[in-house]
Structure 1
């Protein structure tokens, strides 16, 4: 089985763009993800006056520790949650008036805990329509710093945004967190800040970020672990199939690589080495109960795989998936029911019983414009003929070439 070339991590590319823009000097990002989300982030930086140069293999960013180069800007964040949350935070460290807006889908997603924390730090931030949602305007005059309290129970991106801001403040930040979801994403942030010269200290639920800024570097982006989950799942559901993702191994930053441990518990053969990760289908998938709070972006992947297990699959502690690009718990439940699968859903859990109704072959999957719903149910489509999608193109958010890559995989594993 040939190795699968997975595009760079969306999470890492977005953080790297922020760090590069904030750093003193020119940063080179090697193999960044090129997708609608990351192009939107880079375009937003350009609107704020940062120079972003592109070559086929890398992006170069001229950092501006003092903040945006322009005094006024209008930035459209498209569908990108990292763009919509990180760029207003970056702009707050500068001096000027910056207006941000986003797609209808992103306008629905919450921002309020981050907005409150920035206001508590003295940032003049106004939501123009619905409180806690885009569009918003930041009248920036730098950030003094100090202590702030944050609820990151809906999204770890709120904490990441403040951590990234910390070194750009005059006094540094002490961020007291009352609730936190998706901890591995915060660990990615802290590891990347270290690569740009900043050491974050943690004292229980308090994160301490020193002032002093970042230094530019050359930074290689590892393959996207969430995107890899669809290819690993494809191997797990196909007896004898094997998928290897090079560059996503024991030293990987992304917590979503933990999805392969779920596949191992279900009965797949899994190997993770410093060079990469490999999953092989054994012809058996066991049911299980699993908490996915820390790897919740892979919840739809497991839900789409679940009907092929030999017992019920119960996924718990994933309430935050209800406020992603769509309500992913309900979207997974609805589409599984379209396929004749018995599903129960609660506030933060979903339970899926094994078995598919052969009469549902050819069902159309309702995507809600969510890239992860399309990519997850492509896995189901390996075993259920005729599955189609009402919006297959929404994969451009993170992986514009997904359908071609998955079709190649299907040929390689004999489907």
Structure 2
């Protein structure tokens, strides 16, 4: 058995940074993820005037319930969707003029569902380029609150941004949601808000967020379940056993449910109070699986799918087309380049068994494409990548980590 410590959760770290900035007092985040996305988020907070002290193993953030200390700020959110979508909501609760921009990749991703909701709440904002996309200017004067409707069919991050904003408004929020995806990520948000002192009520498709603010916490960041999917898939593919501590029965992240998919394919899975273990059995069965709620792990499954004994069909993953790249199409193109038969539709991909040939994987500047096909490379020696450095977004040390794993397993 190989015990592998994976980095902290990107999703949890980003939410914790918002909550810490909004809370009354000093919050300590234990073992936050150190990556381009989270560094960009923390830098954004600093530009907005928050006191962020970073040291090894812990970040200390002095919260400001009244909003950013800066009256004016230029914030560059890099490739980070969480920063690009959460920070404008945080800034709206304060007073001042704040401009948000991002990389060319992030500029292509939508923010309109969130910004239109903020406009409904009376926030003065304007796009400086393409409608519905960054760059964005926010002229903030606090948020009164009230009732709004939100289309969350493209990303749950729009809902999370509004949920996190709710306690900072004068009257709270009633958010009626349509078309929600990635529900487990919303559950992470609600659980973390509860930890910081806010209880959100749910009435059918409506979330009721009370005003009143947050309380500072000493908050540990659990390992990243999406990153752990690469370890678990590698074990299933290589016929080895891998244990990830810190991701047990009470883990916040829904992407841990990826192990249920591996179990359906033939792997053995054991989940205890504080760890999850996957053992490969030498067999992977084909299956049909809906991955709407764990869509960040879709590329992981797609990359190893050719090694199954039957077709693997992944359904209900349209939202993967508006991530860092069109992930569904990127997986299909790379698999076809490897000589694998693939069919796709609007929200599905079907991958047939085969023996992938080693090729240069087109990463499309997407960390999840690179890491997923690195896992499949255990069975396809000679696989290379056109942009191996894109993993810095969430796991800068991934390639060294994975090389160590290969040596340990002698594969």
Alignment of 1:12-411 (within 5 A): 12-239=12-239, 241-357=240-356, 360-361=357-358, 363-411=359-407
SS at match of 1:180: coil
Deviation digits for residues 261-320 of structure 1, max 9, x if unmatched? 000000001001111100001001000000000000000000001000000000000000
Shift of 1:29: 0.2
CA distance in 2, matches of 1:348, 1:278: 30
- The alpha-carbon deviation at position 411 of structure 1 amounts to 1.2
Q: CA deviation at 1:2?
A: 2.9
CA shift at 1:404, angstroms? 0.6
Tell me which stretches of 4 or more aligned residues in structure 1 moved more than 2 Å. Answer: none
Distance 2:165 2:289 in 1: 34
- Structure 2 distance, partners of 1:271, 1:253, is 17
Deviations 1:84-141 (A, max 9, x none): 0000000000000000000000000001110110000000011111111000000000
In structure 2, stretches of 5+ residues that fail to align are none
Cα distance in 1 for partners of 2:190, 2:290 equals 24
Between the aligned partners of 2:146 and 2:264, the Cα distance in structure 1 is 44
**By how many angstroms is 1:55 displaced?**
1.3
User: Quick one: distance in 2 between partners of 1:277 and 1:347?
Assistant: 33
> In 2, distance between residues paired with 1:4 and 1:352?
29
- Name the CA distance, whole Å, in 1 between partners of 2:379 and 2:125: 50
Instruction: Tell me the SS of whatever aligns to 1:202.
Output: strand
- Find the aligned partners of 2:363 and 2:167 in 1 and give their Cα distance: 40
Q: Helix, strand or coil for the counterpart of 1:69?
A: coil
Quote how far apart the aligned CAs of 1:193 are. Answer: 0.1
d(CA) in 2 for partners of 1:295, 1:2:
25
Alpha-carbon distance between aligned partners in 1 of 2:144 and 2:277, rounded to the nearest angstrom: 47
Secondary structure at the counterpart of residue 324 of structure 2: coil
SS at match of 1:8: coil
Q: Give the TM-score normalised by structure 1.
A: 0.99
In 1, Cα distance between equivalents of 2:61 and 2:401:
29
What do residues 136-182 of structure 1 show as CA deviations (whole Å, max 9, x unaligned)?
00000000000000000000000000000000000000000021000
TM-superposed CA distance for 1:403, in Å, is 0.4
In 2, distance between residues paired with 1:214 and 1:385? Answer: 51
What is the number of equivalent residue pairs in this alignment? Answer: 411
Distance 1:194 1:152 in 2: 22
How far the C-alpha of 1:336 sits from its partner, in A, is: 0.4
Residues in 2 aligned to 1:36 and 1:333: alpha-carbon distance in whole angstroms: 27
TM-score, length of structure 2 as denominator length: 0.99
